[in-house]
Amino acid sequence: MFPGRLSPLKPTTDNLKLPASAGPATVLAPMQDVTGLGFMTTIGECGAPTWFVTEFFRVHETSRPEPHILESIVKNTTGRPVWAQLIGEDIPHMRRTVAELLKHREVAGIDLNMGCPAPKVYRKNVGGGLLRDLPHVDALLGALREACPPGRFTVKMRIGFEDTRDFPAFLALMDKHGVDLLTVHGRTVKGLYRSAVDYDAITLAAASVKCPVIANGDVTSATKAAWVLEHTGAAGVMIGRHAIRNPWIFRQIDERFSGRPVFVPTLGDVRGYIDRLRDRVFDKDMTPFRRAARLKKFLNFVGTAVDAEGLFLKEMRLAPDMEALLAVCDRHLVEGGNAAKPFADEPFAGVVARPNCETEQTCEL
């Protein structure tokens, strides 16, 4: 449907005032109920990306910026810029929310969500639902461009709702309204997370729009990132679920492109990462059972690279409480000499994270 490899523009992120880097830009993808302050802090310690994007601030008539999401910006100690992601379609209230957020000097800029594929979300004509309404997106982009200072308005989108027929028209709107940076997830909204990523669509975007383009979708490792960047001509990559699995992935990409030795984590390093998650990604009032269930949400992805048979995943899911869960982690990651074994660079074939509610209800993992 799309042309093959095109000759891309040479986009630059200079106008965004981002940290200098010898390699491509890297971004931690926004993930609901994951990319809070605790997870950003943990990723920062393992090797921070060029910038972060928050969970989405829901915007409607009675909304106010959620305090726990705002905390991930104003209390962030990683030293990296953090962009505030908005999801909504009501133009006056979107403008109001932008003004409220930009009062906080720590907010690097505003990112518009045009890609969330959860039916519960797109049925409200927000997130990926916006891709069914080109005229409204035209008006919304114009309003947000007026509300955001230069260099502080970005968009994340999918390549279409059910198909890609309107993708070029949406790309044209990015130039019309002077969007500062565009992230493209190479799937349609209906493609959820199961369909193949259309990297040629990202190539088209990188060759078409004036602003830098960030490639998103199945960037599983530093090696895969290098392939995606070469294929698409994008200015950088955004990584979500594979950063949950491998929090060192941004460090590894930076090392690969700067010519330094690439860090190879061990299973012992993974065990230390799990302890950081255990200490940081919970609400204070969670019951012990809820805490164990929440940690399993993260281990669901980590476990895809622990062993080729998926035994860690099976035992982890059956653990009844936190004590038993951590015992499973010790058994597979530390005991019997396992601590010194290298952590797999890619998920093992056939070992997959359990399907989650994101495909039916929300954008949570």
Instruction: List, by residue number, the catalytic residues.
Output: 116
What distance in Å separates the CA atoms of residue 360 and residue 239, rounded to the nearest whole number? Answer: 22
Q: What is the dihedral of CA 258, 261, 265, 266, to 10 degrees?
A: 170
Helices 267-280 and 322-333: crossing angle in degrees, nearest 10, is 160
Token couple for 20: 């200098």
What distance in Å separates the CA atoms of residue 187 and residue 207, rounded to the nearest whole number? Answer: 18
Q: Which residue, among 57, 119, 66, 62, has the nearest Cα to 88 in the 3D structure? A: 57
Q: Give me the amino acid identity at 185.
A: H
Phi-psi region of 166 (alpha: psi -120 to 50; beta: other; left: phi over 0): alpha
Helices 134-147 and 167-176: crossing angle in degrees, nearest 10, is 20
What's the number of CA atoms in the CB half-sphere (13 Å) around residue 254?
16
What distance in Å separates the CA atoms of residue 227 and residue 96, rounded to the nearest whole number? Answer: 41
Buried b (16+ CB within 10 A) or exposed e, 247-267: bbbbbbbbbbbeeeebeebbb
Which helix (H) or strand (E) element contains residue 202? helix 199-208
Token couple for 191: 């493609």
- β 181-185/153-158 pair status: parallel
Q: Are 190 and 129 in contact (CB under 8 A)?
A: no
- Distance between the two ends of the chain, CA-based, in angstroms? 31
- Residue 336 in 3-state DSSP? helix
